[in-house]
Structure 1
């Protein structure tokens, strides 16, 4: 029983229309599911991914129109990575970001891989990472895009950084409970702060890493637009997920219990520093209720919300998802 890697990252936006434009038109990802937050169906939940919405490629957003600005700090999921196939792809993206006025940093090498840090218009902290030297979890297939050659497209999620005030508490969860293994360390670059630790699971590589940063010099993050709500990790199937739930219970880790999200099955954990971590199955998948060819074009609702469709649609601002 071993987690396979990153499943998805779910973040917060205050403007679904602008968010849709950025991630489909500028980043070239596919909107594979236009749905709602199942726990609060008055808000959109948008899923961007590779062409098929494969697990490990999904960056999702809850729309909270009144969300305030994020005050960055500790006890947060502080950096989300997106994978591209090569170092050459980073050069393409550097030029594309300049064309569209996207705030970016220089191409740097981190953990033996070249990368670019950048932000969207709401300050979402992102990084493109090159798979040039990756020998772990394979990436997906980029969505076809008129302006982005296929060899330069986004192929999935890369390492996700957790920044916490008490590293030992989260280390115990990552290593002892979730069974990630430490594979590298590198200096924080901040005076008096511990080295940053890279953890890996499954086949390893860019699609299977969590990065743990301990910071005692920061306030606690105040989340808002541009912050991350949770990171989800890949369990192979429902049978394995149930085994993980048993393990969490046996190790006295508080959890949500089994939840059926229709497109996948889940369990949620609160780590001791307050981060939300989900374990999610690879299937059934996003083509459960829509054909592959028209994924994301219509508002999709899980069966238990279908009877409320008229009410839900009335509360949502229409969103043109033509891609």
Structure 2
């Protein structure tokens, strides 16, 4: 692969009640809602983007929340754990904070010289907080409930569950330009560039596990970074030349996207770093208003009538956080 990703761009999951989703990710995890928009393919539901102050690529967790969505099934053919990066000395603080918030977490364990704390969101999505011993220089979002000294720095990694590893490993190396990092039993780690938080994917080989079902509480797709549109065009051509069934380039307003599945079944995306979330509202006001792309704007009244009301906690407003 001549083109290589620099790391994760975002992870998109299916959620349940949108208000419960926003309360959890804004208040319990201390992220910022950087864009309130809709699913462009199904504008009757929100698309909520959480991240750091400006929603930089690599900080983003996004959701399609359907209030009455059925629960999914975790298994092979999907991303089964989304991990966030936190400061090395903050894992103990997070365990106490989650307990105080009514979130049951596992025991802190050490893997690959990193401390890991695993838990689930209100819809059953498996999440983890990971403290890397070399730290993470990315700037966090700062709130009263989750102060900057402990706050999430961005995505750390994702775990893909597969029944067989060879074809998936081939896609990660030949399709995304990742390199094999290490193996621990049935878990293989791959890294973009020099690796580290935000540039890692683990492949968990579980041939006995059931096939996953994507619905509430599961990941819909995992997106990787492309620096610009020209690189994405060339990337798409390379994938197509390799026989990969890849979509046309789609306008997601805040980035451009292509989608394809890795052989194990997980839907992957390559998303551009540009143009970002400040193209249609000021940085200080990100996420407060419902933003629609130009082709949906004529239907704003109808769309707003379909969407449930969403009340954002004060943590999302910089002057009151």
TM-score, normalised to structure 1, is 0.94
Q: Please name the residue that 2:176 is paired with.
A: 178
Cα distance in 1 between the residues matched to 2:107 and 2:127: 13
Cα distance in 2 between the residues matched to 1:256 and 1:129: 33
Query: Please, which of 27, 30, 48 is the counterpart of residue 29 of structure 2?
Result: 27
Query: Please, which of 58, 61, 65 is the counterpart of residue 63 of structure 2?
Result: 61
Query: Please, which of 5, 10, 13 is the counterpart of residue 11 of structure 1?
Result: 13
SS in 2 for 1:246: helix
Q: Deviations over 1:78-103 (max 9, x none)?
A: 000011122x1111101101111101
Matches within 5 A, 1:231-270: 231-270=222-261
SS in 2 for 1:175: helix
Matches within 5 A, 1:126-205: 126-134=127-135, 140-187=138-185, 195-205=186-196
State the 1:215 CA deviation: 1.1
State the 1:250 CA deviation: 1.0
Aligned: 1:288 with 2:279: yes
State the 1:139 CA deviation: 5.0
Q: Deviations over 1:48-84 (max 9, x none)?
A: 0011111000000001223212222211100000111
Q: Please name the residue that 2:114 is paired with.
A: 113
SS in 2 for 1:7: strand
SS in 1 for 2:90: helix
SS in 2 for 1:95: helix
Cα distance in 2 between the residues matched to 1:140 and 1:264: 21
Unaligned runs of 5+ in 2: 317-321
The count of aligned residue pairs is 312
Are 1:50 and 1:140, in contact at CA under 8 Å, matched by a contact in 2?
A: no
Cα distance in 1 between the residues matched to 2:233 and 2:193: 18
Cα distance in 2 between the residues matched to 1:139 and 1:71: 35
Q: Please name the residue that 1:191 is paired with.
A: none
Cα distance in 2 between the residues matched to 1:273 and 1:8: 20
State the 1:304 CA deviation: 1.7
Cα distance in 1 between the residues matched to 2:265 and 2:203: 14
Are 1:7 and 1:232, in contact at CA under 8 Å, matched by a contact in 2?
A: yes
Are 1:77 and 1:163, in contact at CA under 8 Å, matched by a contact in 2?
A: yes
State the 1:223 CA deviation: 2.4
Aligned: 1:302 with 2:293: yes
Cα distance in 1 between the residues matched to 2:301 and 2:138: 35
Are 2:21 and 2:65, in contact at CA under 8 Å, matched by a contact in 1?
A: no
Q: Deviations over 1:184-242 (max 9, x none)?
A: 1102xxxxxxx211000124212101111111111101222110000000011111111
State the 1:121 CA deviation: 1.6
Are 1:57 and 1:140, in contact at CA under 8 Å, matched by a contact in 2?
A: no
Aligned-residue CA RMSD in angstroms? Answer: 1.2
Q: Deviations over 1:16-74 (max 9, x none)?
A: 00000000011110000010001111000100001111100000000122321222221
State the 1:9 CA deviation: 0.2
Unaligned runs of 5+ in 1: 188-194
TM-score, normalised to structure 2, is 0.94
Following TM superposition, where does structure 1 have runs of at least 4 consecutive aligned residues deviating by more than 3 angstroms? none
SS in 2 for 1:152: coil
Are 2:222 and 2:267, in contact at CA under 8 Å, matched by a contact in 1?
A: yes
